[in-house]
Amino acid sequence: MPARCQYKTETRNCLFNNCKQWKTQQKTLWAEVREATGRGKNRFTIRDLLADTRCTHAVLDFLRSTKVGSRVGPRAVPPKLGEDGTTGAGRRDDKEGVGEEEE
């Protein structure tokens, strides 16, 4: 089993600051934040961080890298729309048909 957070539920503070599981990602995040804002990790609350648009990119990258922000399972494939003979392949017009009628 992968190492889990010491907390039962990942708190935001843990995720962004303390969680050993994401140490590398946190380092990158805060380095980017510092670059963008000139402020270090200790000057930010998570609320500030999330509210600061200069940090948005870093935060999104961070979330992506931790996969925490991701809720996607296997991507749902949108239903394919029928093509109306645009391929030029022609429509079969069997008398038997396939039970498909256009009206």
Binding site for Zn ion (CB under 5 A): 5, 10, 14, 19
Least separation, in Å, of the C-beta of 22 and Zn ion? Answer: 7
Q: How far is the CB of 39 from Zn ion (least distance, A)?
A: 23
| Cα 42 from Cα 68, distance rounded (Å) | 22
Nearer to Zn ion, 8 or 91 (CB): 8
Provide the minimum distance between the beta carbon of 8 and Zn ion in the complex, in angstroms, as a whole number.
Answer: 10
